[in-house]
């Protein structure tokens, strides 16, 4: 199976990334062939150096040899420079295209995939494996293009000089076959393990940088460094094993070369002494054979490099082989126009073996505010995931105006929703870029109106106004400012359904008051669903759905639920006591 897998990976690399650049690659290979052939020419020119340039020789012979050697070196230098520039360009372009394709693919994968693959691990797949492959495949191509030609041209010179000497020199090469196969297998296993440990390192760094405030407050920086040090040790051990096995391949070739050289020296040296061979022939042969083992060593290293490259190629290809399970159906129904009525009908859902929703049914009517409340883990956020098809129910239906969400075009469905959460995601870009995210074509008047309705007037006082960078995750803005930018973005989306997930729970009283007013403006006339732990924020909701252990245990208005004396009344009593 492994040769088949290797062939599939090579076909993918060729068809998707190298074939569109076949012209440049062919030019580079031709230049590599010229550089490789120059090595054979240089070894051949050693013979006239010794046979024609001697006491009593002619100056014309000296000039001829000098010009020939200079021409070969010059041609070799030009060809070598040119193919290295071309290969560097190809490597960067292929690497960039791979990263772009992998990012686009990963962003299409389902939420369940991202919940089980930490960001650091994915970064290592996209960047680490890609950089590893970029560092390995160009030298492999160069070795196959240049060193194969060099090897053939040098062997041709050696055979032309004396085929017996050549046979003695390479008699030990077949002995390399079995050790090389074993070493390649070891390199591949070790390289695969090293890439897995490198992914763990990226995960550790991602956690350290995102959790640096917690580390400082708990005084556990050194403990975190120790955790990283342990992961680093695992990576180094795997990488050292891979490097050692790869280094053993050219070392084996050197041992075989030593045996061959010794044999030729004994046999050929006797012929020189008897006068049956000239010194020029002997030096030309030895130059050719000395140079033969250099490309042979590099070609031997290719097997180790290819084994390391395969580990990265396999990980990248396996990621691209994963397909999202949540997609638009074919054919997909259009999302109906007008007000939106959402309904859950006996919906069940779980993560693995853990059930989260157990037969949930309720409706959210057009133009009304429907609140979801209940203890932590009751399934409130999961319902938002189902409404936006970040996940699909295992049983039951979620409908929009009576049509199952799984029958609707996915992109059009998600365009129906605008989400404002407790930790609204802002990207390390300008305020303007964050506002336009998913908003389509908007005018300056639209931007001004949205900022005003969101009570985000502070934007105009920023150093560069809407062109101000908000920092990683919006860190240059306060919590209230981030929320108001998120609300303005939701306004610009012109969405018909508003999902509010604890949108004000992390704000101080003053910021909460401003944001609450902005949210009230935003929800007017829209179908609105609110997740809330603080019951005081949903007392005016048109309908309150009370969830417990994945079930709807109560629903009604605030006063009605208090009068029933059930779970909602108990939660309200506990919060009021607090």
Distance between CA atoms of residues 458 and 282, nearest Å? 85
**pLDDT confidence of residue 267:** 66
Whether the predicted pLDDT of 64 surpasses 90: no
**pLDDT confidence of residue 490:** 83
Q: What is the pLDDT of residues 135-173, one digit of tens each?
A: 777 877 887 788 888 878 877 877 777 777 677 666 666
User: Is the CATH number 3.40.50.300 carried by domain 342-577?
Assistant: yes
Distance between CA atoms of residues 543 and 494, nearest Å? 23
Residue 264, C-beta contacts closer than 8 angstroms, at least 6 positions apart: 165, 168, 169, 285, 286, 289
Q: Across residues 398-412, what is the average pLDDT?
A: 92
More confident of the two residues 10 and 213: 10
Least confident window among 86-95, 204-213, 385-394: 204-213
Residue 12: pLDDT band (50, 70, 90) is confident
Residue 513, C-beta contacts closer than 8 angstroms, at least 6 positions apart: none
Location of structure tokens 């989260």: 356
Spans of all domains in the chain:
2-321, 342-577
More confident of the two residues 246 and 381: 381
Whether the predicted pLDDT of 29 surpasses 80: yes
Long-range contacts of 225-233 (CB under 8 A, 24+ apart): 228/201, 228/204, 231/197, 231/200, 231/201, 231/204, 232/201
Cβ atoms 488, 452 nearer than 8 A? no
Cβ atoms 450, 486 nearer than 8 A? no
Whether the predicted pLDDT of 366 surpasses 70: yes
Least confident window among 222-226, 241-245, 266-270: 266-270
Q: Mean pLDDT over all residues of the chain?
A: 80
Q: Across residues 468-483, what is the average pLDDT?
A: 83
Q: Could you tell me where the beta strands, DSSP code E, fall in 62-196?
A: none
Reduced to 3 states, what is the DSSP secondary structure of residue 332?
Answer: coil
Q: What is the pTM of this model?
A: 0.71
Q: What is the pLDDT of residues 264-300, one digit of tens each?
A: 666 666 666 666 666 666 667 667 666 776 776 676 6
CATH architecture of 2-321: Up-down Bundle (1.20)
Whether the predicted pLDDT of 1 surpasses 50: no
Whether the predicted pLDDT of 491 surpasses 60: yes
Distance between CA atoms of residues 416 and 17, nearest Å? 37
Question: Percent of the chain, pLDDT > 70?
Answer: 79
């Amino acid at each position: 199976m492994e040769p088949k897998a290797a062939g599939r990976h090579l076909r993918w690399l060729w068809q998707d990334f190298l074939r569109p650049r076949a012209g440049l690659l062919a030019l580079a290979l031709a230049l590599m062939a010229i550089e490789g052939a120059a090595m054979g020419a240089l070894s051949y020119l050693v013979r006239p150096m010794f046979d024609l340039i001697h006491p009593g020789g002619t100056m014309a012979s000296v000039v001829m040899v000098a010009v020939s050697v200079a021409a070969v070196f010059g041609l070799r230098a030009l060809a070598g420079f040119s193919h290295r520039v071309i290969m560097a360009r190809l490597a960067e372009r292929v690497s960039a295209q791979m990263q772009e394709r992998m990012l686009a693919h990963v962003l299409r994968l389902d939420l369940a995939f991202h919940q089980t693959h930490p960001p650091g691990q994915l970064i290592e797949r996209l960047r680490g494996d890609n950089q590893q492959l970029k560092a390995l495949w160009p030298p492999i191509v160069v070795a196959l293009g240049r060193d194969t030609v060099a090897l053939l041209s040098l062997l041709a010179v050696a055979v032309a000089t004396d085929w017996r000497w050549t046979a003695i020199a390479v008699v030990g090469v077949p002995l390399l076959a079995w050790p090389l196969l074993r070493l390649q297998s070891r390199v591949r296993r070790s390289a695969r393990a090293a890439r897995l440990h490198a992914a763990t390192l990226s995960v550790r760094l991602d956690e350290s940088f995102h959790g640096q405030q917690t580390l400082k407050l708990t005084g556990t920086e050194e403990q975190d460094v120790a955790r990283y040090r342990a992961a680093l040790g695992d990576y180094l051990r795997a990488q050292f094993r891979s490097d050692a096995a790869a280094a053993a391949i050219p070392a084996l070739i050197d041992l075989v070369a030593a045996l061959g050289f010794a044999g030729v020296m004994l046999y050929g040296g006797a012929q020189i002494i008897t006068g049956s061979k000239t010194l020029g022939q002997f030096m030309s042969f030895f130059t050719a054979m000395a140079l033969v083992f250099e490309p042979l060593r590099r070609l031997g290293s290719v097997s180790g490099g290819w084994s390391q490259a395969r580990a990265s190629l396999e990980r990248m290809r396996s990621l691209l082989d994963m397909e999202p399970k949540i997609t638009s159906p074919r054919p997909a129904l259009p999302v109906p126009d007008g007000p939106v009525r959402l309904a859950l009908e006996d919906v069940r859902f779980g993560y693995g073996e853990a059930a989260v929703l157990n037969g949930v049914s309720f409706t959210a009517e057009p133009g009304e505010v429907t609140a979801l409340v209940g203890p932590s883990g009751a399934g409130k956020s999961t319902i938002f995931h189902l409404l936006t098809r970040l996940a699909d129910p295992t049983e039951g239906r979620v409908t929009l105006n009576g049509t199952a969400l799984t029958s609707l075009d996915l992109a059009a469905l998600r365009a129906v929703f605008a989400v404002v959460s407790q930790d609204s995601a802002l990207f390390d870009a300008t305020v303007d870029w964050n506002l336009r995210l998913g908003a389509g074509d908007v005018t300056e008047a639209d931007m001004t109106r949205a900022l005003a309705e969101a009570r985000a007037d502070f934007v105009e006082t920023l150093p560069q106004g809407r062109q101000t960078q908000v920092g990683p995750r919006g860190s240059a803005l306060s919590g209230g400012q981030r929320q108001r930018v998120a609300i303005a973005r939701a306004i610009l989306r012109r969405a018909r359904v508003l999902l509010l997930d604890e949108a004000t729970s992390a704000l101080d009283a003053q910021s909460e008051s401003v944001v609450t007013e902005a949210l009230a403006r935003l929800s007017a006339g829209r179908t609105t669903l609110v997740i809330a732990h603080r019951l005081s924020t949903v007392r005016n909701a048109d309908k309150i759905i009370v969830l417990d252990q994945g079930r709807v245990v109560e629903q009604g208005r605030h006063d009605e639920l208090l009068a029933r004396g059930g779970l909602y009344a108990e939660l309200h009593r506990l919060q009021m006591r607090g």
